[in-house]
Amino acid sequence: MKKIAFLLVLSSAFMSAQIKTVLSPYGEKVNINLSPPGDNLGNHTATTTLNLNNNDISNIADIYIKKEAQFLDQSGTNTNYFSLKKDNGTFGIYNSLVGSNALSIDETTSKTTVVSAQIPKGTDASLPQKDDIAVSTDANGNVIWKPLVRIKGATMFQFFVRADQNSKFNSAVFNPVSRMENIPYTAPVNGVLYLEANLISTVPDIFLTKSPTVVKTEMAVMVDGTPIGYGSSLITTAPVSTFANKTDLFPATTTIYCQIPVTEGTTYSISVQARTPDQTNGGSYVGLYKGKDSDGGPTAILSSLMGTLVTD
């Protein structure tokens, strides 16, 4: 019994040490617990803004936000903010400066829309240069920056020239078409150069010794002096009054397609030549045609040569 009495006295002393009794201004005794139990915020519903006075919140399992979470600028002088919010099925990163989402994700399709995007470095740490293209290196979406000429299968326009004069009239041997002689071309990369020549051959009526007659014109596309593509035209003459263009010139268009493999850094000389193999009843030339259209108005058609590169 003595032990029990001692414990009761000790317990009473301990409890009295945790509770302080004071008198109120009205003479009432008020007990103050000096070691109150921990407060549980879950037992409370806030009716105004909770100010943590710049203290952190830690050890959080989940956060549920019904409107938005705003992120202010740390500088303090910039009052603009970004926020996270979801509205009508769209999750967005909102930019208060422009008043709209910088990024939006549709909850139904998971499609992501960004106002602007940039990739400052490729996965190989390469820096983009002007007009470079981001190229995927694998199925995971890793990209590197490359100029267009370094992308396999890229198709690039290389050059385009037009004739401003004609080849020699009625020449039995091949001779150059104006502005299409020894065109220098240096390949920027390995690939295949595709050439398209649209050539206008013309038979002047005043040089015909027999009408009607047929005049053949032969054309060739040459690289470094070697023909790589041929074409020809057969022009049947007729009385001027019955010919469609109502002039003393009988034109025809011939298109030649050809190609040649090219090596990076190598320079090639490209030419277009023409001739009239048979001068018996008339002659021809290749270059440009100036005549009249079906309504009698002036018209001009120029021979042309275009080069297009497909990279390896």
Measured distance CA(254)–CA(201) in Å, rounded: 8
pLDDT in tens, 25-34: 766 776 766 6
Q: Do 235 and 279 share a domain, yes or no?
A: yes
Measured distance CA(275)–CA(284) in Å, rounded: 8
Measured distance CA(208)–CA(281) in Å, rounded: 6
CA distances from 89 to 68, 112, 135, 180, 272 (A): 14, 13, 32, 62, 64
Q: Do 216 and 239 share a domain, yes or no?
A: yes
Amino acid at 268: Y
In a domain, 59, yes or no: no
Q: Do 307 and 187 share a domain, yes or no?
A: yes
pLDDT in tens, 3-23: 444 444 444 444 444 676 766
In a domain, 162, yes or no: yes
Structure tokens at 254: 């011939």
On the question of pLDDT at 243 being above 70, the answer is: no
Q: Do 179 and 102 share a domain, yes or no?
A: no
pTM exceeding the 0.75 threshold for the entire prediction: no
Measured distance CA(215)–CA(278) in Å, rounded: 7
In a domain, 15, yes or no: no
Instruction: Quote the pLDDT of residue 14.
Output: 44
Residues 6+ apart with CB under 8 A from 81: 70, 71, 72, 73, 96
Radius of gyration, CA atoms only, the chain = 44
pLDDT in tens, 127-181: 999 999 999 999 998 999 999 999 999 999 999 999 999 999 999 999 999 999 9
Q: Do 105 and 159 share a domain, yes or no?
A: no
Query: Cis omega before residue 212 (within 30°)?
Result: yes
Burial of 117 (0-12, 13-18, 19+ CB in 10 A): exposed
Measured distance CA(270)–CA(252) in Å, rounded: 23
Q: Do 213 and 279 share a domain, yes or no?
A: yes
Domain that holds residue 96: 65-116
Q: Do 100 and 179 share a domain, yes or no?
A: no
If we measure between CA atoms, which residue out of 156, 154, 147, 187 comes closest to residue 312?
Answer: 154
Instruction: Quote the pLDDT of residue 28.
Output: 73
Q: Do 110 and 141 share a domain, yes or no?
A: no
Number of domains comprising the chain: 3
Q: Do 218 and 280 share a domain, yes or no?
A: yes
Q: Do 98 and 225 share a domain, yes or no?
A: no
Q: Do 100 and 137 share a domain, yes or no?
A: no
pLDDT in tens, 165-180: 999 999 999 999 999 9
Q: What is the CATH number of the domain that holds 201?
A: 2.60.120.40
Q: Which residue has the higher pLDDT, 297 or 274?
A: 274
* Percent of the chain clearing pLDDT 70 (strictly above): 85
In a domain, 56, yes or no: no
